[in-house]
Amino acid sequence: LYKGHGNGGFSRSYAFERQMSAGSAAKAASDWLDGGEVTQSRTIRAPAMRTLQRFQSNNRSRLSTGSFGSIQGGGGGSFVGMVEHGSRAPSVRSLAEAGHHLQDQRAVEMYNGHGALLGHQAGGFDDIDLPSAVKYLIASDPNLQVLGAAYLQHKCYSDSNAKKQARSLQAMPKLVKLFNSPNQEVQRHATGAMRNLIYDNAENKLALVEENGIYELMRTLREPDDELRKNVTGILWNLSSSDNLKDRLARDTLEQLTDLVLVPLSGLGGSGVIQQNPSEAEIFYNSTGFLRNLSSASQQTRQKMRECHGLVDSMIHYVNSSLEVGKSEDKSVENAVCVLRNLSYRLYDEMPPSSLQRLEGHRRNTGGVVTGELVGCFSPQSKKAREHYLSADIVTFTEVSKDPKGMEWLWNPQIVGIYNRLLQRCELNKHTTEAASGALQNITAGDRRWAGVLSRLALEQERVLNPVLDRVRTADHHQLRSLTGLIRNLSRHARNKDEMSTKVVSHLIEKLPGSVGDKAPPADVIVNIIAVLNNLVVESPMAARDIVYFDGLRKLFYIKKRRDSSDNEKSSRAAASLLGNMWQYNKLHRDFKTVGAPPGASSSR
C-alpha cells in the first residue's frame, strides 16, 4: 500500500482498531515508499471499574424486579469498552510499517494497567458463563439480553479464547440481530460487545461482515443516540484494520458515513463552524480513523473516496477550521491530514483525464523538460524559456484556483497553504506534520507540469522551505523520509538553485554519516539527501562549493565506500553519481585531492 514514486510519498494508514491498529518504508530507486500513513491505534479498554461495581451490587436485585435499566460506565457512558487514543499519524512510509505498530500498540492498549483489577471487580457475573450469556441474547426479556451482551463484552475484552468460544456458540449473528433492537440499552450493549469481540480477531471481523453486519451497523448509525454511534463508528474503525475488508467497507459505508457523520460534524454543513460535544468529537474521531485506514487500500478505494460527495470537502473544512481556532494538535486533524495524504498518492496518474489535461495545459516539448536529476549534465533553462513557462503557470493557476470542490482540493493551490500552516503551527503532534509533508511530497512528485507549478508555489509564495528545514533539524527517521522526499521534489523544480543551495546544503550535509561511529539515517533518507544535492549541483556551482565547505566531500566519499549491504549499495551509487558531477567543476579538484581521492577517481558514474 505504501508505494512511493520517485519523489512521491504515499502515506499509508496503519490499520486502526478501536481497541485499534495503526500503520512506509521507502524502496530504492524509482519506487520509494515515501508517503505512507501510519495506522492509528485505538484501544478498547475493559469496562470501567464503576460499571463492574454497579453490576456487583445491583444486578441481581434489578433482574429480580424486572428493571435492569441502564448500566452506565464510569464516565457516564454506557457499559462499552472505553477507548484510549494512541494513534500514529500517516507518514509517507507508514503503510509498510503498519503491521509492526499494530502489534506493539495493541498489548498496551488492551490492558493499560487495569487487567488485574477485573477479576476482583466482576462479582456481578459470578453466576453466568459464556454459553448462558449467549443464550440470554435470544431471550424475550430485554433485561436478559443486556446482561448477556454485557457479560460478553467483559469476558471478551482481552481473552482470545473467549472470543473464539463466543464465535463457536454463534454469538456473532445473535448480536448483529440486536443492533437494531427496539430497546436502546440492548442496542448499546450488543454493539459494545461486538467491539471487543472483533478487536484483534480477524475471524470475528469476517463473521460480522458475513452476517450482514455492515448493513445493520449503517442502519444503527442513523439512531439519534451518541453512545450508540460511538460504538458503531468504533466497530467500523476496527473492521477497517483488516486489509481484505477495506474495499467492501468503502463500497458499503462511505456515502452514508459522509452524510450522517462527516459533513455535519466537520462543520461543513449549516453554520460552517465546528460544534461538537465530547461524544460527537469521539464519533468524528472514530470515523476519520476509519477513513484513514481505508485510504491506504487499493486504487479502487482511493478513487471511491475521492469521488464520494462531501468526503474530501469535510476533511479540508475540518482541518482549516481547526487551524483557525488553534487546534492543530487535534487527533481528528491528524486523521484527516493522513486521509488527504493517502488520497494524494499517485494523484496525477489516477485523476480524471479531463482534469489532468486542464492542469497540464500546453505541454512543453519533451526536450524542454528539466528532470533535475541528470548525472553529469548541465541544462539550465534560458531566461526567455523560464518567463514563458511562468506565464503559462499563471494562466492555469488562476483558472484552477477558482472555487475547488471535492477531489479538486487535492491538487488546488490553496492546499499548499493549508499543509504549510500545519508545518508551522503543529508543534507537538509529529504525525500530523509528517502527514502534511508527505502530502506535499505526493503533489510535487514526478515530471508533470502541475507538480512543478505547486513546487514553485511552495517555494516562492508559501516559503515552505523554512518550516520544512526546521523540522529536519529535530526529525526522527520516519519524519526524515517524507521531509527529505519533499525537499528532493522541490529541488528538481526550483527556479533558483543557487538560492535554494544556500538554505539547504548545510542542514542536509549535517544528517549524513562521515565515519563508522556516526549515527546514520536510513538508506532511503541518505539517497534522498544526495539526490537533493545532485539536483542543485548540476545547475549551481554554489551548491558544489557549499558541499565542500560543510565537509560534505569527506562524507560522500565515506558513503561511496560503504557497500556492505543492498541498502548501502544504493546510497553508494548515489554518492558516486554526485561526486562525478562535482568533479566537473575544475576548481574543486584540489579539494578532492585533499580528502585523499585520486584525481578523477570520482568521475566514474
Extract the C-alpha cell encoding 366: 519533451
Q: What is the DSSP letter of 38?
A: P
pLDDT in tens, 278-305: 999 999 999 999 999 999 999 999 999 9
pTM surpassing 0.85?
Answer: no
Specify if 544 maps to a domain: yes
Query: Mean pLDDT over residues 148-157, rounded?
Result: 94
Specify if 449 maps to a domain: no
- pLDDT confidence bin for 396, thresholds 50/70/90: low
The predicted structure's pLDDT at residue 385: 53
Q: What is the DSSP letter of 72?
A: B
CA angle 291, 293, 296 (to 5 degrees): 105
Across 223-237, 398-412, 424-438, least confident range: 398-412
- Answer with the residue of higher pLDDT: 308 or 86: 308
Task: Say whether pLDDT at 107 is over 60.
Answer: no
Specify if 145 maps to a domain: yes
Chain centre to alpha carbon of residue 598: 47
Q: What is the DSSP letter of 461?
A: I
Task: Say whether pLDDT at 276 is over 80.
Answer: yes
Which of residues 241, 265, 295 is at a domain's end? 295
Extract the C-alpha cell encoding 439: 502530502
The predicted structure's pLDDT at residue 391: 59
The mean predicted confidence, pLDDT, of the chain is 78
Where b means 16+ CB within 10 Å and e means fewer, 461-470 reads ebebbebbbe
SS3 512: coil
Query: Mean pLDDT over residues 555-580, rounded?
Result: 92
- pLDDT confidence bin for 383, thresholds 50/70/90: low
The pLDDT > 70 percentage for the chain reads 71
- Answer with the residue of higher pLDDT: 507 or 106: 507
Domain count, the chain: 2
* Helix, strand and coil in the chain, % to nearest 5: 65, 5, 35
Specify if 440 maps to a domain: no
Specify if 542 maps to a domain: yes
Single out the residue of 551, 471, 545 nearest to residue 502, CA to CA.
545
Rounded to whole angstroms, how far apart are CA atoms 149 and 143?
10
- pLDDT confidence bin for 238, thresholds 50/70/90: very high
Give the domain extent around 220.
Answer: 126-295
Specify burial of residue 198 (Cβ count, 10 A radius: 0-12, 13-18, 19+): buried
Cell 481547526, located at residue: 322
CA 342 vs CA 25, 41, 244, 286, 479: distances in Å: 14, 17, 18, 18, 16
CA 592 vs CA 540, 574, 583: distances in Å: 18, 17, 8
Which of residues 276, 295, 314 is at a domain's end? 295
- On whether the CB atoms of residues 56 and 122 are closer than 8 A, the answer is yes
Single out the residue of 291, 187, 197 nearest to residue 230, CA to CA.
187
- pLDDT confidence bin for 237, thresholds 50/70/90: very high
Specify if 445 maps to a domain: no
CA angle 595, 597, 602 (to 5 degrees): 120
Query: Mean pLDDT over residues 443-467, rounded?
Result: 95
pLDDT in tens, 521-567: 999 999 999 999 999 999 999 999 999 999 999 999 999 999 888 88
SS3 37: coil
Single out the residue of 246, 351, 353 nearest to residue 298, CA to CA.
246
Rounded to whole angstroms, how far apart are CA atoms 414 and 319?
13
The pLDDT > 90 percentage for the chain reads 63
- Answer with the residue of higher pLDDT: 539 or 599: 539
Single out the residue of 427, 307, 238, 104 nearest to residue 436, CA to CA.
427
CATH code where residue 235 lies: 1.25.10.10
Task: Say whether pLDDT at 402 is over 90.
Answer: no
The predicted structure's pLDDT at residue 384: 58
Specify if 17 maps to a domain: no
pLDDT in tens, 20-50: 222 332 333 333 223 333 333 333 333 332 3
Which of residues 278, 295, 312 is at a domain's end? 295
> Residues in the chain, how many?
605
The predicted structure's pLDDT at residue 485: 96
The predicted structure's pLDDT at residue 441: 97
CB atoms within 10 A of CB 391: 9
- pLDDT confidence bin for 208, thresholds 50/70/90: very high
Rounded to whole angstroms, how far apart are CA atoms 325 and 320?
9
The predicted structure's pLDDT at residue 247: 94
Specify if 3 maps to a domain: no
pLDDT in tens, 47-91: 332 334 344 444 444 433 333 333 233 333 322 332 223 332 222
The predicted structure's pLDDT at residue 60: 42
E strands in 31-72: 42-45
